[in-house]
Structure formats: C-alpha cells, structure tokens
Amino acid sequence: MALVWPGAGQCLQKRWLAGTIYAVGFLLTVIAAFAYGIRILSAWYSLIEGDITETNILRMHAWKMLLFFLLSIILWIVSIVDMCAVHVARRRKELQEPGLPGPGEDVRRSRS
C-alpha cells in the first residue's frame, strides 16, 4: 500500500500517527511543488506577454519547486523503507516467540 500513497502502509500496520505524518507531509510537499509550478507558468506567460522583463522570478520559483518535488520523493521512499523495516521486525519477533517453529523447522515435530 505504501506504493500507492505514503502513509497507507503505516495505517495498514495500525501505526496511525506515523501514517498520518507521512500522508500529510507528502500531500503538503506535493501541493507546494504544484503551487510553485503554477507560479512559474504564470511568470512565464507574463514574460511572454511582456509584462515583466526579469527571469530571476522564474529561477527563484524553479529551485523551490524542485526542492519540494525532491522532498516528496524522499518522503515517499522513507515511508516505504519504514513500512518494510517495521514489517520485518514484527515478523522476526513473531518467529522468535516460544512455541512457534523457527524457519526451516518441521511444524509437526515442534508441537510435540
């Protein structure tokens, strides 16, 4: 689920706070990236129409847009890694509980 939306995997693991933080953080970074993208388009069209003459506005918004876009990708990757790490840790804990067969052990033999 973490591939669909950051935080969804954490919510499936019933880690509500982490899931909410990842989901809201991703949403805010994507919204910020799109907002700067809209500002770039607006400045570009103003530049074409001759309303403004400086291209510094375009450069200023471009690096901010890229920054928020990269932050959203990093947040997505961290969300996936976090979900997988917690899953592996929980699985190892389950396998180490007494009375459960370990990996490669015969289930019939361990019950006796």
DSSP category for residue 7: T
User: How far apart, in Å, are the Cα atoms of 83 and each of 8, 37, 55, 78, 112?
Assistant: 9, 30, 43, 8, 36
> Any idea where the domains of the chain sit in the sequence?
8-97
Q: pLDDT tens for residues 39-81?
A: 888 877 777 776 665 666 666 778 888 999 999 999 999 999 9
Q: pLDDT tens for residues 7-35?
A: 999 999 999 999 999 999 999 999 999 99
Reduce the DSSP state of residue 52 to 3 states and report it: coil
User: In this predicted structure, what is the pLDDT of residue 54?
Assistant: 60
**DSSP3 helix / strand / coil % (the chain, rounded to 5):** 75, 0, 25
User: In this predicted structure, what is the pLDDT of residue 56?
Assistant: 64
